[in-house]
Amino acid sequence: MTSKDLSIFNSLRPFSIGFDDMFDQFENMLGNGSLSVQSNYPPYNIRKTGKDNYSIEVALAGFNKKDVEVEFEDNLLTVRTKQISKSEDNNADGEIIHKGISQRQFARSFTIADDVKVGSAELKDGLLTIACERILPDHKKKRLIEIK
């Protein structure tokens, strides 16, 4: 028996139609029945800002927009640092004697549903805000089926 045979999601498959991709995504996220260990850095909020609008807020104190990149590919939204140059310790503002504000490398990923569109990203006051909107296609909207 494989771990896929023992999955809790396999017990739900007989009661659903067309959700195989979703169950496979859960399998990839959860692995063998347990969440993979992820760093808590950087902290984030997921906020519902309207009926079909969401925002992801990532706390990035000490980072500049040139230090961070946001990538969306194949339903995976990833916020990560670009390569941080060590030579930035000496700049026009002077030499850093003590470095207490961390600028460590990170990558934080979010799985985005098929019907959610990732919009803009803004870094303001140390908070990166990524706007997302759920766009419901016509074939998913509620409708009455005519009986013949």
Three-state secondary-structure class, residue 59: strand
Q: pTM of the full predicted structure?
A: 0.67
pLDDT at 97: 85
Tens of pLDDT, residue by residue, the chain (148 residues):
454 555 666 676 666 666 667 667 776 666 554 445 567 889 999 999 999 999 999 999 888 889 999 999 988 999 999 876 655 555 667 788 887 776 778 899 998 988 899 999 999 999 999 999 999 888 878 888 899 9
- The domains located in the chain, with CATH, are 1-36 (no CATH), 38-86+101-142 (2.60.40.790)
Tokens at 72, concatenated: 């969306």
How far is residue 33's CA from residue 58's CA, in Å, rounded to a whole number?
Answer: 27
By the 8 A CB rule, do 140 and 115 touch? Answer: yes
pLDDT at 104: 79
pLDDT at 88: 55
Q: How far is CA 126 from CA 13, 91, 96, 141, in A?
A: 43, 20, 20, 38
- The number of residues making up the chain comes to 148
Residue with tokens 């503002």: 93
Q: What is the DSSP code string of 79-148? A: EEEPPPPGGGGEETTEE-S---S-----EEEEE--TTEEEEEEEEETTEEEEEEEE---GGGS--PPPP-
Q: Which amino acid is at 75?
A: N
Q: Which amino acid is at 53?
A: N
pLDDT at 49: 93
Tokens at 99, concatenated: 């470095």
How far is residue 84's CA from residue 30's CA, in Å, rounded to a whole number?
Answer: 31
Tokens at 67, concatenated: 């230090």
pLDDT at 86: 57
